[in-house]
A and B are shown apart, each in its own frame.
Chain A
Amino acid sequence: MDLTQASFKQVSEAVKTKKISATEVTKFFLNRVEQLNPKLNAYIAMNEAALNEAAALDVKINKNENVGPLAGVAFGIKDLLCTKNLRTTAASKILHNFIPPYDSTVVARLKKSGAIILGKLNLDEFAMGSSNETSYFGKCYNPWNTAYVPGGSSGGSASAQASRMAMGTIGTDTGGSIRQPASFCGVVGIKPTYGRVSRYGIIAYASSLDQAGPIVSSVEDAALTLEVICGQDENDSTSSTKKVPEFSKNLSTNVKGMKIGLVKEYQKGELHPDITKTYNLAIEELKKAGAEIVEVSIPLTEFAVPMYYLIAASEASSNLARYDGVKYGHRAEFNDLASMSLEDFYSQTRGEGFGKEVKRRIMLGTYCLSSGYYDAYYNKACQVRRLLRQQYLDVFKNCDALLSPVTTSPAFKVGERSTDPLKMYLNDIFTTSTNLAGLPGMSVPFGFSSDGLPIGVQLTGAHFEEQKILNIAFALESISETKGRTPNVF
């Protein structure tokens, strides 16, 4: 069995029927990590207990005990999700030594379903970035060409997945952080509807926008992972009580009669010619498959980036107030604690512990929430957010899903945009409105640039309509020129 190509279903079936052991699968991927990670820096911590956990699963199988649907499937987890007794850092100095005493719900559900956790994956510090260049543990690279960024913030997840240093990975998406790196690295990424997946134990960036989801090699693997991680959780009051469909069983490539909208406002901006080519090809193929393509208008998407950054930075400045050097994490060194002022204690610890981009966003958010500016910035953005969501709700009355590019260009070079924050923020033009409206969105690989870098297309669905976008992605995947192609990483 070629473990770099096998599906979750095939592997878990083989593990359950003892054709291969969970230990062998785990060893195979740990070996790949050892060989490839020095080049890519996708993993920033390994789970030392992985082989023991795999052995324990094999014992269960030998005793004919019930194991879950992901038995033996080896996962890498973005280092924003808490893992019990395994260091969790948000790729920040301020949490460089933090060992969670509990599992996030997503990780607990993966473990319960038989998945083996290999280790923790790199990201932009506190998930704030689009290139994985702001990690305290160093940059992560794109396996298709290491001169390029893997995207961000879930850059480690996408890079590890594309290079098959894991069978599956988990990312999080606040403004595009699953979809953009998935597109840059040629893998499948889905951000579910806000509330589908519990946020318990996920280090918060912007609580009203954050959602976790899979970054994996195929639409089927994504569907299966969603079945495991979605659903109500008593530890997250914003998790939805809605029943979770059997996404993987319901998968179908039949898109006949589906109405797919193209957002008019997205046609205005400048698109890289390779992006236009891939996007147009997807439109043509969906037409051929019997889908009806319609033009729709969502005028407020033009304001998505300002709205997103004002809200995300405001929420971040509040969420990150908890890092104070008292209960856990980094604390600045002081000679005499008794003679310190509390204020200096906090500001020195935080000044040292946070990186530049995180500080920039805390400053921006603090400003937007400060007396005299709250109404003009934060509150205004939240009002426009309601109007934006309404425009989406209206469009979905007559439309099953939306198709768009994920980004304006393929992956960019390492260092190319890191000196200009505004330019970096404007990357997120096509992805942020999905989070603002709480909609499910995904990226499915559908082409290559002239430089050989993969390019995805984005699908956006109505609230809780993940199945529809999974099915359209399934149809596109079945005819994609990227199918079965992996980067030459050795």
Chain B
Amino acid sequence: MIIDQKTIEHIAKLARLKVNAEDAVEYGEQLTKVLTHFQQISALDTTNIEPLVTPVDIEFFAREDNVKQENTTEEMLQNAPEKAGNLFKVPPVV
């Protein structure tokens, strides 16, 4: 299996990651090597096996639906890189 540069560009776009040309070549080679090695699991028979996500049987519990005021607007905005009043400032989205 080979992860070519076109695929790397496609993945980087999906992941919203700017990758420079030099790194793209390196990632292509490394992902090819890693995925080739990892392909060994394809030989295992998993017919009719449900995928497992949560590894432990967890008893479901629900919280009381109470309103709690644990954080203030100021606290939640204190880390914002740029803000305008009580809003996060971002590029135009529409």
**A341 interface contact, C-beta 8 A:** yes
- Are the CB atoms of A101 and B76 closer together than 8 Å? yes
- Are the CB atoms of B17 and A331 closer together than 8 Å? no
**Which A302-335 residues sit within 8 Å CB-CB of chain B?**
303, 306-307, 309-310, 317, 321, 324-331, 334
From the candidates A237, A366, A381, A387, name the one contacting B14 in the complex (CB within 8 A): A366
**Which A269-314 residues sit within 8 Å CB-CB of chain B?**
300, 303, 306-307, 309-310
Enumerate chain B residues within 8 angstroms of A241, measured Cβ to Cβ.
Answer: 59, 61
**In whole angstroms, how far apart are the Cα atoms of A377 and B3 in the complex?**
14
Count residues of A near B (Cβ-Cβ below 8 Å): 78
Main secondary structure of the interface of B (DSSP, over half): loop
Enumerate chain B residues within 8 angstroms of A224, measured Cβ to Cβ.
Answer: none
**In whole angstroms, how far apart are the Cα atoms of A436 and B46 in the complex?**
17
Task: Enumerate chain B interface residues (CB-CB to A < 8 A).
Answer: 3, 7-8, 10-20, 23, 27, 30-31, 33-35, 37-42, 44, 46, 49-56, 58-61, 63, 70-71, 75-76, 78-82, 88-93
- Are the CB atoms of A366 and B91 closer together than 8 Å? no
Enumerate chain B residues within 8 angstroms of A193, measured Cβ to Cβ.
Answer: 56
Can you list 17 residue pairs at the A/B interface with Cβ under 8 Å? A194-B56, A237-B58, A306-B39, A309-B38, A326-B81, A329-B81, A342-B92, A343-B16, A347-B16, A351-B18, A359-B27, A360-B31, A363-B11, A380-B44, A382-B51, A387-B44, A438-B55
- Are the CB atoms of B15 and A366 closer together than 8 Å? yes
**In whole angstroms, how far apart are the Cα atoms of A250 and B15 in the complex?**
48
**A234 interface contact, C-beta 8 A:** yes
From the candidates A238, A326, A367, A376, name the one contacting B54 in the complex (CB within 8 A): A238
What is the count of residue pairs linking A and B with beta-carbon distances less than 8 angstroms? 183
Whether A370 touches B14, Cβ cut-off 8 Å, given contacts A337-B90, A379-B51, A422-B37, is: yes
**A346 interface contact, C-beta 8 A:** yes
Chain A: which residue is nearest B63 at the CB level?
A: A234
Main secondary structure of the interface of A (DSSP, over half): helix
Chain A: which residue is nearest B40 at the CB level?
A: A306
Interface readout for A223-267 with B: 1 if CB under 8 Å, 0 if not? 000000000101001111100000000000000000000000000
**A60 interface contact, C-beta 8 A:** no
- Are the CB atoms of B18 and A347 closer together than 8 Å? yes
**A463 interface contact, C-beta 8 A:** yes
Whether A208 touches B41, Cβ cut-off 8 Å, given contacts A241-B61, A348-B18, A421-B34, is: no
**In whole angstroms, how far apart are the Cα atoms of A386 and B56 in the complex?**
11
- Are the CB atoms of A325 and B81 closer together than 8 Å? yes
**A67 interface contact, C-beta 8 A:** no
**In whole angstroms, how far apart are the Cα atoms of A436 and B51 in the complex?**
12
- Are the CB atoms of A350 and B89 closer together than 8 Å? no
Name the distance in Å between A397's Cβ and chain B's nearest Cβ: 16
Whether A317 touches B15, Cβ cut-off 8 Å, given contacts A386-B49, A422-B33, is: yes
